[in-house]
C-alpha cells in the first residue's frame, strides 16, 4: 500500500510514523522506491523538498513537438501533472517551463526550442515551504519546479500540497498571535496536558512583564492619593494603548508574512504609522477629555487627553516595530502577539500617564 502511494504522500506517511515502523516499511519497498524515499526524507523537515515529487514530464530543447508529445503519452500516466512540461538540458538543468497548451498549438515539425520563451518560476528544493507558497500565489502557477544548487531539476511541488502548507502556517501564526505554542494536529484530539504546555509558557512570561506595571503604579502613589480621580481613567488609557499596538502589530505581522513589506521599508512605515497614530490619538483624546472634565475637572481632562495621544503613539510604534525587530533576528514576527504588545503598552501607559499627571498637576 505504501509502495503505491505517490512519492510526496509516501514521504509524509513515513515522516509521521514512528521511526521503527518507518524503517520496517522502507526495508520492504522496491529498490527504486526506497532510493526515492531516502532522497525526499533527506531534505530538511520544513523545506519544500519534503513535499516534492520526482514524477514529472521533461523534454529536451532539440526534440520536435511530435517527439515531445510521444514522450508525454509514454510517461504522463505516472506523472503528478502534465499541465506543465519542463524543458531540461542533457545534464538535467532546467531551461524552461512550458504550458501543455503551447505544445498543442505548435506545429508537429517545430522544435521545443522554437516555442520556448526562457521564462519560468522555480525555487530551491531546500527553500522554506512558506517561500514556495508565496511563489505559487504570486505567479499563479499550478506546479513549482524545484532545483538543486546547480540548477538541476530534482522534482516539482503541486498547488494542492502547498495549500495544505498554507493552511498549517496560517494556523500556527494565529496560535502565536494569541501567545500559544503552535499545536500540531486537531485541537479536538489534543490532550489536556498538551494544551496546558502550549499556553503556560507565555502566560508566565507575561505575568513577570506585568509586574512592572504594578511597580509603576506604586512609584506614583503620592500622585494617586492627591488626585484619586486619575485611577478611574487608568484602565481606559492603558487598554487604548494596547489596542492600538495590537492593531499595528497585526497589520505588520501579516504584511511581513505575505512579503508585502521588507526590513528596508521600516523607516518609511514609521513615518506613516506616526501620522496615523497622531490622528487616532487626537480623535480618542477629544472623546475622553469630555469624560475627564465630567469626572475630575479641567485639569484632569487635560492630563487624560495628553496621555491618550502619547500612549496611542507609543503603543502603535511598539506594535509596528516589534515584528520587524523579531524578523531581524530570524524569529517569527507572529511572536509579536497581541498579549506581548499589550503588556509592553501597559507598562508604557502607566509611566506616561502618571508622569504627565505629576508634572501638569504639580504634585
pLDDT band at 96 (very low <50, low <70, confident <90, very high): very high
Pairing status of strand 94-99 against strand 143-147: unpaired
Architecture of domain 44-165: Roll (3.10)
Q: What is the pLDDT of residues 187-211, one digit of tens each?
A: 777 788 888 888 788 778 778 877 8
Is there a common fold for 44-165 and 206-361? no
Instruction: Specify the residue for cell string 509611566.
Output: 351
**Which parts of the chain fold into alpha helices (H)?**
7-16, 19-28, 31-41, 65-75, 100-105, 112-115, 129-139, 159-177, 192-219, 221-226, 230-258, 266-296, 298-328, 338-361
Whether the per-residue pLDDT at 262 is higher than 70: the answer is yes
Q: What is the pLDDT of residues 315-348, one digit of tens each?
A: 999 988 988 888 888 777 776 567 788 888 888 9
pLDDT at position 29 is: 84
- Tell me the mean pLDDT in the region 263-288: 91
Indicate the pTM of the whole model: 0.64
Whether the per-residue pLDDT at 60 is higher than 80: the answer is yes
Residues with Cβ within 8 Å of residue 204, at least 6 apart in sequence: none
- Taking every pair of Cα atoms in the chain, the longest distance, rounded to a whole number of angstroms, is 94
Instruction: Specify the residue for cell string 531581524.
Output: 328
Q: How far apart are CA 324 and CA 264, in angstroms?
A: 10
Question: What backbone torsions phi and psi does residue 118 show, to the nearest 5 degrees?
Answer: 70, 10
pLDDT at position 357 is: 92
Q: What is the pLDDT of residues 287-308, one digit of tens each?
A: 899 988 888 889 989 999 999 9
The per-residue pLDDT of the chain, averaged, comes to 86
CATH among 1.10.357.20, 2.40.110.10, 1.10.4160.10, 3.40.630.30 for 206-361: 1.10.357.20
Q: What is the pLDDT of residues 139-155, one digit of tens each?
A: 888 899 999 888 999 99
**What residue ranges do the domains of the chain occupy?**
1-42, 44-165, 206-361
Question: What backbone torsions phi and psi does residue 135 show, to the nearest 5 degrees?
Answer: -65, -45
pLDDT at position 178 is: 66
Q: Is the CB of residue 153 less than 8 Å from the CB of residue 86?
A: yes
State the distance between the two ends of the chain, measured CA to CA, in whole angstroms: 80
Q: How far apart are CA 142 and CA 158, in angstroms?
A: 6
Question: What backbone torsions phi and psi does residue 151 show, to the nearest 5 degrees?
Answer: 85, 10
Amino acid at each position: 500500500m505504501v509502495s503505491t502511494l505517490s512519492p510526496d504522500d509516501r514521504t509524509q506517511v513515513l515522516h509521521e510514523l514512528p521511526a521503527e515502523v518507518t524503517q520496517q516499511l522502507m526495508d520492504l519497498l522496491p529498490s527504486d522506491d526506497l532510493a526515492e524515499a531516502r532522497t525526499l526524507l533527506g531534505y530538511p523537515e520544513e523545506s519544500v523538498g519534503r513535499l516534492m515529487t520526482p514524477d514529472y514530464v521533461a523534454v529536451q530543447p532539440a526534440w520536435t513537438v511530435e517527439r515531445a508529445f510521444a514522450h508525454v503519452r509514454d510517461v504522463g500516466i505516472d506523472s503528478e501533472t502534465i499541465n506543465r512540461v519542463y524543458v531540461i538540458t542533457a545534464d538535467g538543468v532546467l531551461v524552461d517551463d512550458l504550458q501543455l497548451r503551447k505544445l498543442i498549438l505548435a506545429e508537429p515539425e517545430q522544435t521545443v526550442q522554437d516555442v520556448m520563451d526562457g521564462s519560468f518560476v522555480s525555487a530551491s528544493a531546500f527553500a522554506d515551504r512558506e517561500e514556495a507558497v508565496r511563489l505559487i500565489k504570486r505567479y499563479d502557477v499550478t506546479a513549482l519546479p524545484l532545483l538543486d544548487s546547480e540548477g538541476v531539476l530534482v522534482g516539482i511541488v503541486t498547488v494542492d500540497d502547498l495549500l495544505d502548507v498554507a493552511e498549517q502556517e496560517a494556523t500556527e501564526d494565529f496560535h502565536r498571535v494569541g501567545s500559544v505554542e503552535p499545536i500540531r494536529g486537531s485541537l479536538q484530539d489534543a490532550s489536556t496536558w498538551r494544551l496546558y504546555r502550549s499556553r503556560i509558557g507565555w502566560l508566565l512570561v507575561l505575568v513577570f512583564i506585568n509586574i512592572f506595571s504594578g511597580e509603576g503604579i506604586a512609584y506614583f502613589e503620592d500622585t494617586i492619593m492627591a488626585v484619586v480621580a486619575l485611577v478611574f481613567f487608568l484602565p481606559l488609557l492603558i487598554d487604548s494603548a494596547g489596542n492600538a499596538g495590537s492593531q499595528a502589530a497585526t497589520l505588520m505581522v501579516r504584511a511581513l508574512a505575505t512579503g508585502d513589506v521588507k526590513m528596508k521599508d521600516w523607516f518609511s512605515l514609521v513615518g506613516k504609522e506616526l501620522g496615523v497614530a497622531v490622528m487616532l490619538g487626537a480623535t480618542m483624546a477629544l472623546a475622553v477629555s469630555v469624560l475627564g472634565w465630567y469626572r475630575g475637572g479641567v485639569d484632569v481632562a487635560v492630563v487624560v487627553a495628553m496621555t491618550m495621544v502619547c500612549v496611542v503613539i507609543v503603543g502603535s510604534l511598539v506594535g509596528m516595530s516589534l515584528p520587524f525587530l523579531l524578523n531581524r533576528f530570524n524569529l517569527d514576527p507572529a511572536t509579536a502577539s497581541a498579549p506581548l504588545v499589550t503588556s509592553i503598552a501597559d507598562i508604557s501607559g502607566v509611566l506616561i500617564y502618571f508622569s504627565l499627571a505629576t508634572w501638569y498637576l504639580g504634585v
